[in-house]
Amino acid sequence: MFFGRVEEIDDTPSADHAEGEVIGDGVRIRRRQVLRFSAAAGAVALLARTGETREPPKVADPFAPLTFEKVVEQLRPLAGVLLTLDQPNEEAYLHTVAALLHRVQPIPASSGKSSRPMKMSALARHRPLVVYEIDLKPGAKIRLHDHHDYNGVIYGVEGAVEVRNFDIVTPQKKGRSPDRDKEFDIRETTRGLVTAGRVSSLSRRRENLHEVVAGKDGARLIDVFTFFSKEARSRYLEFDDKPHGKDKRLYRAAYKR
Ligand SMILES: [Fe+2]
């Protein structure tokens, strides 16, 4: 950690915590971490602070808005390559998906109203990549479900949803889910709000289960799915929403018929 001013950083490289220092209950610094800004970044920060103006550098904005179609165009080959890799880095892929979703302008228009609690409309279908718009009425709940052999990124457009993610704790054979009607433990890993401009993601191995509940104003989301096989699909789970045992995040769950 560094608590000084930005321009002090280069002058005081040892101003953060020292090796071996205890900074809290049981928290010991193992390796000194020093934030170093490049001279250029420091200069930019200084200019911004002092209000000085100079000719901005002539570089393309790498974060500029992109149409939805352009974003899909960029994602399709990435999704295709992902499926060919023996050990695909899904986390890097999901971050890339999220970063591109942040650039979509304009957000695709909603495809009409529905009286149903949840409406899913396909915005793009290019397997293995499929993009949906999801409209949720106030309080609508997408019950706990898995994402067998596929991953996803939710991007908030309007309103809010509370998203709870879980991992299956009980050891499974690789790529297999627990048998139907057999109870097993799941652990809640995250619980947070997805509002406009925020994301929630899950991979095949990380937080593959989630429950989504819309807030009082409902929600509109964009959901990007990447399917790894023809068997990829979701199934609902039943779970007792009371934690058990010493671990306050453990719940009992089962796949039901
Ligand atoms: Fe889901």
Residue extents of the structural domains in the chain: 6-50, 68-255
What the block records as the tokens of 41 is: 């970044």
Q: Containing H/E element for 171?
A: none
Q: What is the pLDDT of residue 162?
A: 98
More confident position, 202 or 35: 202
For residue 169, CA distances in Å to 145, 204, 239 come to: 15, 14, 14
What global pTM score does this model have? Answer: 0.80
Residues 6+ apart with CB under 8 A from 203: 90, 91, 94, 151
**Is 146 in contact with 225 (CB distance < 8 Å)?**
no
Between the CA of 74 and the centroid of ligand 1 the distance, in Å, is: 23
The pLDDT tens digits for 28-47 are 656 544 444 455 555 555 55
Q: What is the pLDDT of residue 12?
A: 67
Average pLDDT over residues 90-109: 96
Q: Rounded distance, CA 193 to CA 175, Å?
A: 29
Residues 6+ apart with CB under 8 A from 106: 67, 68
Residues 6+ apart with CB under 8 A from 241: 251
Q: What is the pLDDT of residue 11?
A: 72
- What percent of the chain has pLDDT above 90? 66
Q: What is the pLDDT of residue 224?
A: 98
Between the CA of 91 and the centroid of ligand 1 the distance, in Å, is: 17
Between the CA of 210 and the centroid of ligand 1 the distance, in Å, is: 6
What the block records as the tokens of 84 is: 């060919």
Between the CA of 234 and the centroid of ligand 1 the distance, in Å, is: 7
Between the CA of 201 and the centroid of ligand 1 the distance, in Å, is: 9
Q: Rounded distance, CA 225 to CA 205, Å?
A: 15
Between the CA of 43 and the centroid of ligand 1 the distance, in Å, is: 44
Between the CA of 144 and the centroid of ligand 1 the distance, in Å, is: 8
Between the CA of 93 and the centroid of ligand 1 the distance, in Å, is: 18
- Residue 7's pLDDT band, with cuts at 50, 70 and 90, is confident
Q: What is the pLDDT of residue 20?
A: 72
- What percent of the chain has pLDDT above 70? 80
More confident position, 195 or 59: 195
The pLDDT tens digits for 232-255 are 999 999 999 999 888 889 999 999
* CATH code, residues 68-255: 2.60.120.10
For residue 59, CA distances in Å to 48, 63, 70, 105, 242 come to: 18, 11, 20, 21, 54
The pLDDT tens digits for 112-153 are 778 899 999 999 999 999 999 999 999 999 999 999 999 999
Is residue 190 pLDDT above 70, yes or no?
yes
